[in-house]
Amino acid sequence: MKAIIYNSFWIILEKICFAGAGIISAMYVARYLGPDNFGTLNYLVSIIALILPFIQLGSDNILFNRIAKKPLSGMTLMIASLRIKFILFLFFSIGLFIWASQTLPADKTKILVILLISSFFTLRDIYKLYYDATLASKINLVINNTALVIFVGLNLAFVHFQLDLTWFAGSVAVRTLLPYLVRKVIFSRGHMAKRYARQKPLKLKYLKFYNIYLLKVGLPLAVSGLAIVIYTRIDQIMLAKFIGYHAVGLYSAAMAISQGWVLVPMALITSFMSLIAGERDPQNANGRIRLLYMLTLALSVPVIIIISLFNKEIIWLVYGEAYMASAAILPICALTSLCSVLGTISYRIIIMHAGYRFMAMKMPIVALLNVGLNYHFIPLFGITGAALSTLCSEAISLFLLNAMFKKGLVTNHLFGAYKSIPALIIEVKNHVKSNRQTSH
């Protein structure tokens, strides 16, 4: 438990820095760009997000669980995944570029290419996953925050010199390139990398075996991953279609704030899941899952209340008068973010129990539901319709559809989260007692 607390501290510190820097950057960049340009940037990011699940093949969750249980085996699978990711990236990127060149203006196509390059570095950065899975998140903290400072500095400089949208897309690429390069160098010099290097080189037939394994296990996850992207990004794409980029900018502004606080519980989830994945006693694992749900709720509910009470003040402070229409949907987006965080825990638990086929069936249903709701509500209610559609989809996914997995395995943990409170109190008392003994 101490390892989790220590690792969570570094992850949470990293996420707080990310959120703080994001708010500072948004206060200047989003105001400078205005809702139209801000909406254009988020629209193009959403378009790229549609191809990423077929490139990742759900490998993040597969690799995380393998590394947490068997680091050396996980490293082998991790290295093998790079080749197949590269091939898939080329295939889908060429297709997306052909589409963009036929449908988008030249300036937007150029921005799309830059954002594609940025996503390439993100896909190659498997080392961040390794450090999270091995409870070494302090390394990620230092690297990511250094890159973040450079990213924010670049954006502020671009605002000062009044540069166009292309330059801001370029800063996104820098933000992903620098952490990838630094982590790769550190990893290659680390103890586990040297230990892995002493092993015999992986034969071609075994490399093919790992690739086949990733495809076999990953394709259902790719389908569910695409569905997740559809129901989290389709609102922005459909807003651009029905109303325009200005509406996308307003909607994205509210989503950015509502998701800012999510970084803290997500950090907790990252640390807890490494321990839960490696737990051999089912009873202990179940207890920790309930505790994770309880801690997530305890962290999230107060934030949602504050966002709901001070929605107008928050939007005005961060974005200014041009974005005030976003205030109306901010409480809805905050509730959606809570459902999304709880859904992330549920997703990881389902994957731990090999529920790949279940996810492959469930997520397309949620995606189609969200598309239908957005198609109906956006023309009627604008950005409010988009926010309500996504909230309904998240809630149905979390409570109704997850209840169908293994006779309510996931929802039983969620609704039984309160049972972890006595164990949490005991754990806190033991931790305080241990600290007092150490100090004496």
Average confidence (pLDDT) over 338-362: 88
Residues 76-126: tens digit of each pLDDT: 777 777 888 888 899 999 999 999 999 999 999 999 999 999 999 988 888
Rg over alpha carbons for the chain, rounded to the nearest Å, is 22
Neighbours of 353 (CB within 10 A): 12
Alpha-carbon dihedral sign for residues 315, 318, 321, 323: negative
Q: Cβ-count burial of 23 within 10 angstroms (0-12 exposed, 13-18 middle, 19+ buried)?
A: middle
**Whole-angstrom Cα distance, residue 207 to residue 298?**
44
The answer to whether the CB of 352 falls within 8 A of the CB of 344 is no
pTM for the model stands at: 0.78
Q: Any residues with CB less than 8 A from the CB of 412 and at least 6 apart, and which?
A: none
Lowest-pLDDT range of 6-20, 30-44, 146-160: 6-20
Q: What percent of the chain has pLDDT over 90?
A: 40
Say how many residues make up the chain.
Answer: 440
pLDDT at 9 exceeding the cut of 70:
no
What are the tens digits of pLDDT across the range 54-65?
A: 887 766 667 776
Residue at 92: amino acid letter? F
Residue 338 has pLDDT above 90, yes or no: yes
151 sits in which H/E element: helix 137-160
* Of 186-190, 225-229, 251-255, the least confident: 225-229
Q: 3-state DSSP call for residue 243?
A: coil
**Mean residue pLDDT across the chain:** 83
SS3 215: helix
